[in-house]
Amino acid sequence: MADESKVKEGEIMESPSQAQDAPHQIKISLDDQNVEAYYSNFCRVTGTPEEIIIDFALNPNPFSRQDQTIKVDKRLVLNQFTAKRLFAALQQTILRHEQNFGVIELNVQRRLSPGAAAGANKAKK
């Protein structure tokens, strides 16, 4: 059994076998002792009616204006239900981050030229 100090609390879920009876909650613990972390600055999302496929990669030249081939390092395959829960968790995380640190600007040109963003905001008024 895993060392209790290394086990993290997971989400509380309803047991499928108990669905007909009164809801029974089970605790899921995660052991991340041997987890490997990867950095990605590129992802591609595709899917089928049954699943969502997310490919992750590292683009060493993200601002290149030339054709390039990027090697996919990791692929995550999720069913639609898990993908929707992931979406909700990511959305909440980003909202909290923006409340604490400000809006995350996705437009690279605005990030590189802070004055351009201010000018764009004045033009909208």
Q: What is the pLDDT of residues 18-74, one digit of tens each?
A: 455 567 889 999 999 999 999 999 999 999 999 999 999 999 988 888 999 999 999
Other beta carbons within 10 angstroms of residue 20's beta carbon come to: 6
Q: Which residues pair with 53 in a beta bridge?
A: 46, 77
pTM above 0.85, yes or no: no
**Position 100 confidence tier, pLDDT thresholds 50, 70, 90:** very high
